[in-house]
Structure 1
Amino acid sequence: MPHTNTTSFQDTPHRQGTREERPSDDGAIRLQKLLAQAGFGSRRKCEELITEGRVEVDGELVTQLGTRVNPRSQKVRVDGSRVRLDGRHVTLALNKPRKVLSTMDDPKGRFTLRDIVGDKYERIFHMGRLDYDSEGLILMTNDGELSQHVMHPKYEVAKTYIATIDGHIGGNVCHRLVTQGVQLEDGHISFDRCAIIDSNRDTTIVKVVLHSGRNRIVRRVFAAVGFPVRRLVRTQIGPIRLGDVKPGAYRVLSATEVRSLSKEVGL
């Protein structure tokens, strides 16, 4: 199974900075440098964010450019959104193939997510699951706070799937699944969006968006209306897209992507 070697900003060799730019003994760095590393633009742009009164540190508005902060112990927000820049944390977008378990270990020796990510990242864990026969995007992180928020029912983020359905279905089926939904054994469910992408005499390809994280929910919904799912691929979770990551590979999310995901789940 192929691995993708990816590099995050903290893996890139750094040029030796000036005395003012280097972290202090307690790990504190200048606020504008931290914001630049977090993807808020150039150092000058980040200085403007500070002087415009858009940055808070530990709940206090900061407008002084000389302010130093410790990214591991202090909370920084820009326009109310949390800036997450702990170099120990990493978040991955992984493309799970079929016949891979959404777990890190399996006593029966089947392929798991660990076979894809290996042991490169300490204490990394998956945020949500895909069933054994489904494919696509799984988010993984060693950021406990981010993981709790992504998986908490209060912050259920929208998930996008491409489903290949047995049989030819019309737009009326999609319309019903959005406006009326279906009653399953564990409760009522409806899609946020449903659109037919392509179809022929034997199969229909459908794009589905929904917030529910219930087990095998897309497969169960289509089965309930008489159209079994032949193939299911998750392509997006909240603002994070799978992109061109190949099956059995992964990529490290950028600081900007992590920030957008954090904002989506209330961090």
Structure 2
Amino acid sequence: MEIRLQKYLANAGIASRRKAEKYILEGKVKVNGKVITNLGTKINTEKDLVYFNDKKVCVKNKKVYILLNKPENYITTANDQFDRPTVMDLLPSISERVYPVGRLDYNTSGLLLLTNDGELTYKLTHPKHHISKTYIAKVKGIPDENSLNKLRKGIVIDGYKTSPAKIKLVRKFSENSEIEITIYEGRNRQVRKMCEAIGHPVLKLKRIAIGKIFLKDLPLGKYRYLTKEEISYLKKL
């Protein structure tokens, strides 16, 4: 069976397909002892030997799907050059090599999916699929309906107009408030920039759902495996 090299690396749990492409371009991948930098390269899964950073790559059949309630001050990568804690530190008992599906900022908490299913990761993170992500944002001040409507219709940040978002004012406090925001894009720090654009900067941010996968009452810093129904739902998106 022939398969593209980046897809094979993703299936083996090395990284997402796009990150695997980056590794190939950086010369970190060998096939039968030869460094490969061509993204169009296909391999024979029964005959060819693939190495990443000089370690043999093998595709394991067991797929793992994890939901983590990420705390603030954790990096959403496997390693950090500044030696900050990463989300992998919260999964000490997971023997399979998994990687995050997308990112959550260092100072953002909440729902993070991790898996070794490269195909699912590719689907969930590709911009064309527009999968909803829901956040609770504690913001400075109390935005009025006019400000919230700007977010609902789409607002210009970093030179582009965001897609229409679902917005709901959840709670009011004396000097700040909480709003529920559902977006269908995944641009860098998008929710924070949207709130900043209407004059109500984010004080705390938590992701509570991806599509119909909900964080619910999972304790902070803990994880659970997705149910069969949740996995089936994600694969059908």
2:163–2:185 CA contact under 8 A, matched in 1: no
1:101–1:111 CA contact under 8 A, matched in 2: yes
How big is the shift at 1:102?
A: 0.8
Aligned partner of 2:166 among 170, 190, 193: 193
1:220 paired with 2:228, answer no
**Which residue number in structure 1 is paired with residue 229 of structure 2?**
256
Deviates more, 1:168-177 or 1:230-239: 168-177
- Normalization by structure 1: what TM-score? 0.64
Amino-acid identity (%): 35
Matched residue type, 1:234: R
2:111–2:209 CA contact under 8 A, matched in 1: yes
Q: Deviations over 1:154-213 (max 9, x none)?
A: 21310000000101222222122112x211114111442101011123001100001110
1:191–1:208 CA contact under 8 A, matched in 2: no
1:90–1:141 CA contact under 8 A, matched in 2: yes
Seen in structure 2, the aligned counterparts of structure 1 residues 87 and 254 have a Cα distance that, compared at 3 Å, is farther
Aligned partner of 2:121 among 135, 147, 155: 147
1:164–1:230 CA contact under 8 A, matched in 2: yes
Q: Which runs of 5+ in 1 are unaligned?
A: 1-85
Q: How many residues align?
A: 178
Q: Which of 1 and 2 has greater Rg? A: 1
Seen in structure 2, the aligned counterparts of structure 1 residues 103 and 109 have a Cα distance that, compared at 3 Å, is same
Question: RMSD in angstroms over aligned alpha carbons?
Answer: 1.5
- Give the whole-Å Cα distance in 2 for the aligned partners of 1:124 and 1:262: 17
1:96 paired with 2:70, answer yes
1:202 paired with 2:168, answer no
- Give the whole-Å Cα distance in 2 for the aligned partners of 1:216 and 1:150: 18
Q: Deviations over 1:52-79 (max 9, x none)?
A: xxxxxxxxxxxxxxxxxxxxxxxxxxxx
**Which residue number in structure 1 is paired with residue 151 of structure 2?**
177
Deviates more, 1:190-199 or 1:115-124: 115-124
Runs of 4+ residues over 3 Å off in structure 1: none
How big is the shift at 1:101?
A: 0.5
- Give the whole-Å Cα distance in 2 for the aligned partners of 1:175 and 1:121: 46
1:134–1:233 CA contact under 8 A, matched in 2: yes
Q: Secondary structure at 1:139's aligned position in 2?
A: strand
Seen in structure 2, the aligned counterparts of structure 1 residues 96 and 194 have a Cα distance that, compared at 3 Å, is same
**Which residue number in structure 2 is paired with residue 122 of structure 1?**
96
- Give the whole-Å Cα distance in 2 for the aligned partners of 1:117 and 1:93: 11
- Give the whole-Å Cα distance in 2 for the aligned partners of 1:238 and 1:157: 6
2:99–2:115 CA contact under 8 A, matched in 1: yes
**Which residue number in structure 1 is paired with residue 21 of structure 2?**
none
Q: Deviations over 1:101-155 (max 9, x none)?
A: 0111112221101110126242211001011111101111111111111111121
- Give the whole-Å Cα distance in 1 for the aligned partners of 2:119 and 2:230: 16
Q: Secondary structure at 2:147's aligned position in 1?
A: helix
2:195–2:201 CA contact under 8 A, matched in 1: yes
Q: Which runs of 5+ in 2 are unaligned?
A: 1-59
- Give the whole-Å Cα distance in 2 for the aligned partners of 1:161 and 1:120: 27
